[in-house]
Amino acid sequence: MFISRRFLQIALATTALSGCASTPPHAGPALGAGTPGTSAPAAADGEVARIRIGPSPAQGALASMDSEPGDEPSAVLSSSGQLRPEVQAYARQLAADRGLRVDAVVSALSGARYSETVARLIAPPPGKKISRSWITYRSRVVEPKTIGWGVTFWQENHDSLDRAAQRFGVPASVIVAIIGVETRYGRNMGSFRVLDSLSTLAFDYPDPAKPERAQMFRDQLSDFLTLVMQGKLDLQTRGSYAGAIGMPQFMPGSVMRYAVDGDGTGHIDLANSPNDAILSVGNFLMEHGWQRGLPVFAPVTLPADPSPLVDGGLKPQRDWPGLRAAGAAARAGTMQTGAGNAWQQGPLGVIDLPEESAGTAEYRTATVNFFALTQYNRSYFYATSVADLAEAVRQRMNLVAGR
């Protein structure tokens, strides 16, 4: 999933529906869903305990978006009532690869329903290409209501946020912002059965020209069913239309590898436990390269035309000496020694935030921490909006505290 960022930056409405790593690459999966199928190390020993994720009352408002199981045809059975041959082969392979009972896998799969809504939402929109607009995207994220909710979330969960910041090096403001962008602090976690969403996309992906996308969703289905077989997820778990779960919108692979028991209960509940969600986001970002003490953006004034410095990738390819030679300059007051200029010692990248209808773009100089955010959702728009929302919430918190 680590591919060029030269994809459409989706509207925030898509992020609200799916969050993290849940949407197609050009849309940026919401996640933790940002890395579906990742094979990176799991959380510390003992932390990925029993995981129980269920719908919260806040999800009721979204229930009308999808049909209840039984209202739609099977996602896995043929007209004769038998598992489709490719599903049978998948079940046998999954059982063999994961040490699971094949009959248990088949039993779990047999109830999967095909969701026409999921197929429609995941498919690329027909017709004319929509111009990307950073101004529009940002205005839907960094807005008064979300900032206010973020302040409340921070106040209610300051102990867990402080623990996450100390343990993983990720500022509280950034974790708050991610949960805000993903689900508006649990207000929009999705109402689709994960089993139905993933089975629909695994076996009937709406674009036959993209078999790699179907395979990615098969991998996520494998992780979901493994967690179910292990007793760590409920088969009826609900999430986004692309299978992302809980407040941080983790795809099943990210639940398996990065979810953390933040409140010490022995269970991980990303839908109903802010502690678990907060620690899990911090763990995800640390595992994807977040560096303690670095800003997301470096305090740099770029040359008049920075466009030649943009490579559009998801890894920083430049450094401070090279940018300075190209005409960049550190802003006044940022050349002090010590932690204040630590960003000058590591890799950097110049990013563009287009306003396509006007033929313009905003440019910023990003540190490795920006690129850690793009592993949550592969979009410059997404990562920048998280950083800007984090700063807006932090400033509001300071005002509330009288600082």
Q: Which two tokens stand for residue 156?
A: 């209610």
Among the listed residues 182, 212, 287, 391, the single catalytic one is 182
Residue 32, amino acid = G
| Contact yes or no for 402/35 (Cβ under 8 A) | no
CB 259 within 8 A of CB 227: no
CA 303 to chain centre: 32
**How many other C-beta atoms are found inside a 10 Å radius of the C-beta of residue 371?**
23
- To the query of whether residue 355 is one of the catalytic residues in this protein, the response is no
For 356, residues 6+ apart whose C-beta sits below 8 A from its C-beta are 131, 132, 133
Element (H, E) at 285: helix 274-287
Task: For residue 50, list its beta bridge partners.
Answer: 267
Give 3-state DSSP helix, strand, coil % of the chain, rounded to 5: 45, 10, 45
Single-letter code of the amino acid located at 303:
P
Tell me the C-alpha distance between 348 and 353, whole Å: 16
Taking each helix axis from N to C end, the angle separating 144-156 and 172-183, rounded to the nearest 10 degrees, works out to 120
Q: Which of 313, 287, 294, 285 is nearest to 367 (CA)?
A: 294
| Tally: H helices and E strands in the chain | 15, 8
Residues with active-site annotation = 182
